[in-house]
Copies of this chain bind each other. A is one copy, B any other.
Amino acid sequence: MDKVKVGVAGFGVIGQRLADGVARQEDMELVGVADVAPTLAVMALAERGMPYDLYAAAPGARETLEAAGIPVTGDFDDLIAQVDIMLDSAPGGIGAKNKAKYEAAGVKAIFQGGEADEVADVFFHGYANYENGVGQDYLKLTSCNTTGLIRTIDALDRAFGIEKVAITIIRRVADPGDTHRGLVDTLQIEPIPNHQAVDLMSIMPHIDATGILVHTPVTHGHIITIVATPKRDVTKEEVLEAFTTHPRIRVVRIADGFDTNTSLFNYGRFLGHPRGDMYEVGLFEETIGFSGDDIMFAINIPQESVVIPETIDGIRAALSMQTDRLDGVAVTNQYLGM
């Protein structure tokens, strides 16, 4: 079978990782990546000898890039012309503009959480609503927190049914090296409900969700605590079983040294993953407990890389490479080594 051809728009935090993730899929071909300026990520790509072809994503960008010594393969239209689907990880709002080009070229696309919902036909999560994406032209992924959160709620819901969830998001306020946002010695709180709860209900409309979000001055992953009301009485073993059998949830133990978000960030580094990427959400085993009949637990969201698997699931769904949910995610997982 011919490989599916994929392009990536925006070689930033998400785009770099999408490119790597696609390159690992043996039934996909990464045609190239597009960006507009010689960012550090683009300079590093050049220093590595251009393992991925780079396309200039805006008028004048080619000149800027070449002036910085970055080899450029072609313009954005050249990239779009060669692919079956674009993964758009350009900064929020740019994707909506890019969409006109994708439509003109008859190319499908998957957008990230930063774009407005209107950009897409389907709000997509590989595990929770894969079927909704099958054969669709434009998908939008859930954000990093929502993607990871839904993995765990979906796991419990499919095991024994979940009625409602109340979540507390302890949010990392910036990515490593991001100087454009930040907090110093302060916890910033937002009104209830947070958008992640609202988004969860979009994807899983049969569950009632709400929650409070607090921004914290850290960069290496969000932590979320969850109070989930199951539809029947469950044991801790059942809960743990639902989590440990999920390929995208890594159950870790505080007693083993996984007592921080950064321990999971470091573990990805220790594993030798590029940039220390971690695709799984971490689930802290010793945080599983009960409030009456409600389940309580806490997870870690590696915000830089958590959405990569579900985005690749989206390619599979949109291009009908696999039409069954478990078939689709299984192939993604296999090639990502999960």
Per the bound structure, the CA–CA distance linking A190 and B253 in Å amounts to 11
Contact, CB under 8 Å: B266 / A40: yes
Which residue from chain B places its CB closest to the CB of A253 in the assembled complex? B191
Whether A229 is near chain B, meaning CB under 8 Å from some CB there, is yes
Contact, CB under 8 Å: A287 / B184: no
Contact, CB under 8 Å: B176 / A262: yes
Which residue from chain B places its CB closest to the CB of A185 in the assembled complex? B185
Q: Which of A105-113, A116-124, A136-144, A165-173 contacts B (4 or more CB under 8 A)?
A: A165-173
Contact, CB under 8 Å: B188 / A257: no
The A231-289 residues at the B interface (CB cut-off 8 A) are 254, 256-263, 265-267, 269-272, 274-276, 284, 286-289
Complex partner residue of A170 from B216, B263, B276, CB under 8 angstroms: B216
* A16 contact set on B, CB distance < 8 A: 270
* A284 contact set on B, CB distance < 8 A: 189
Contact, CB under 8 Å: A163 / B220: no
Per the bound structure, the CA–CA distance linking A181 and B188 in Å amounts to 13
Query: Least Cβ distance of A149 to chain B in Å?
Result: 14
Which residue from chain B places its CB closest to the CB of A43 in the assembled complex? B256
Whether A214 is near chain B, meaning CB under 8 Å from some CB there, is yes
Contact, CB under 8 Å: B292 / A258: no
Whether A294 is near chain B, meaning CB under 8 Å from some CB there, is yes
* A229 contact set on B, CB distance < 8 A: 292
* A258 contact set on B, CB distance < 8 A: 40
Contact, CB under 8 Å: A185 / B187: no
Per the bound structure, the CA–CA distance linking A298 and B192 in Å amounts to 9
Contact, CB under 8 Å: A163 / B270: no
Q: Determine how many copies of this chain the complex contains.
A: 4
Contacts A170-B187, A262-B177 given: A217-B218 contact, CB under 8 Å? yes
Contact, CB under 8 Å: B223 / A189: yes
Query: Least Cβ distance of A274 to chain B in Å?
Result: 5
Contact, CB under 8 Å: A188 / B270: no
Complex partner residue of A168 from B48, B189, B210, B225, CB under 8 angstroms: B225
Contact, CB under 8 Å: A294 / B218: no
Contacts A186-B260, A229-B292, A296-B210 given: A267-B166 contact, CB under 8 Å? no
* A276 contact set on B, CB distance < 8 A: 269, 275-276
Contacts A216-B187, A257-B40 given: A275-B270 contact, CB under 8 Å? yes
Per the bound structure, the CA–CA distance linking A177 and B287 in Å amounts to 20
Contact, CB under 8 Å: B218 / A177: no
* A220 contact set on B, CB distance < 8 A: 176-177, 185-186
Contact, CB under 8 Å: B177 / A266: yes
Contact, CB under 8 Å: A44 / B182: no
Contact, CB under 8 Å: B270 / A179: no
Whether A79 is near chain B, meaning CB under 8 Å from some CB there, is no
Whether A212 is near chain B, meaning CB under 8 Å from some CB there, is yes
Per the bound structure, the CA–CA distance linking A274 and B39 in Å amounts to 21
Query: Least Cβ distance of A310 to chain B in Å?
Result: 22
Whether A94 is near chain B, meaning CB under 8 Å from some CB there, is no
The contact sample of 22 A-B pairs, CB cut-off 8 A, is: A16-B270, A40-B267, A44-B271, A164-B292, A166-B166, A166-B227, A166-B294, A176-B186, A177-B262, A182-B184, A184-B218, A185-B217, A185-B219, A186-B261, A186-B262, A189-B259, A189-B298, A191-B287, A192-B288, A214-B225, A229-B292, A269-B276
